[in-house]
Amino acid sequence: MPPLAEVQRRVRDAMLAGDAGPLASLIDAGPRDATRRMAIHLRHYRVSLIAVLMGRFPATTWLLGSAQVEAAAAQFVGAVPPDAPCVAEYGAAFPAFLGTWPAAERVAYLEPFADLEWHFGRLSVAVDAPAKDAGTLAALNADDLVDTVLTLQGGTHYCHASWPIDELLAIFLSNTAPEQTMLAEQPVWLECRGTRGDVRINRLTEGDWTFRQAIWRGRPIGVAAERAWLVDPEFDPGAALAAMLGQALVIGAVTRTKGTDS
């Protein structure tokens, strides 16, 4: 009998390939019986993962229809196997996969809507860390401030869409969703905040969103401010920082050494 790790590798490869051949020597039965046994496990594997995806994307299922989402999920499961031991983490790439699905041609906001729903579910289990107050930055001089990198709460996500997908998700969550909903094209800049089961989706101005999103991605305050000024010359970084601190978004601050990559 091969080592356990080798047995596990063979089982994994057989499941992904849908071929029981590599397992025949491990099963005390003929090749035909091994194939039948493998078919049972393969079906359970696929059905279980399809159920996981359907459970993680109920709003997308409402929008597109269960038959369409289930068909897409079946193909996704075959093409993108889990890469983490926790099944609850499976499905992060499903919105992008849906963006290549034929239905995306008639539902232009399908991918960003599904992506928003994914993060809505992910953020619902986030827990806030202790936040920094205004004193954290007050002691810094202007030169140090522009080179300071802030860390935001883990339950934070920023996204931009050309359609009001936040309104569509709110309609679904209200339990009063109509059978058909038509969206008018309208750009939105969204901040999603989740903590202990509560998720809020806030609309920001393009300048505020650009500033916060750059900070969220690890850019220094000065770089974030410059990017915000490009889209909004009236942007006020001081007021923006005060608002972030007042909303308990900031949990860390590190001033970079001059000349480091931004």
Give the separation between CA 130 and CA 38, rounded to whole angstroms.
50
Give the separation between CA 126 and CA 24, rounded to whole angstroms.
44
Q: What is the pLDDT of residues 173-204, one digit of tens each?
A: 988 766 666 788 999 999 999 998 899 999 99
Nearest to 108 by CA among 162, 54, 34: 162
- What is the CB neighbour count within 10 angstroms for residue 54? 16
* Beta bridge partner(s), residue 189: 160
Tell me the whole-structure pTM to 2 decimals.
0.85
Nearest to 61 by CA among 105, 93, 107, 100: 107
- Rounded to 5°, angle at Cα 230 from 225 and 233: 85
| pLDDT tens-digit profile, the chain (262 residues) | 667 676 666 666 666 666 666 666 666 555 556 667 777 777 888 899 999 999 999 999 999 999 999 999 999 998 888 887 788 889 999 999 999 998 888 899 999 999 999 999 999 999 999 999 888 888 888 889 999 999 999 999 999 999 999 999 999 998 876 666 678 899 999 999 999 889 999 999 999 999 999 999 999 999 999 999 999 999 999 999 999 999 999 999 999 765 444 4
Give the DSSP per-residue string, the chain: ---HHHHHHHHHHHHHHT--GGGGGGSSS-HHHHHHHHHHHHHHHHHHHHHHHHHH-HHHHHHH-HHHHHHHHHHHHHHS---SS-GGGTTTTHHHHHHTSGGGGT-TTHHHHHHHHHHHHHHTT--PPPPP-THHHHTS-HHHHHTEEEEE-TTEEEEEESS-HHHHHHHHHTT---S--------EEEEEEEETTEEEEEE--HHHHHHHHHHHTT--HHHHHHHHHHH-TT--HHHHHHHHHHTT-EEEEEEPPTT---
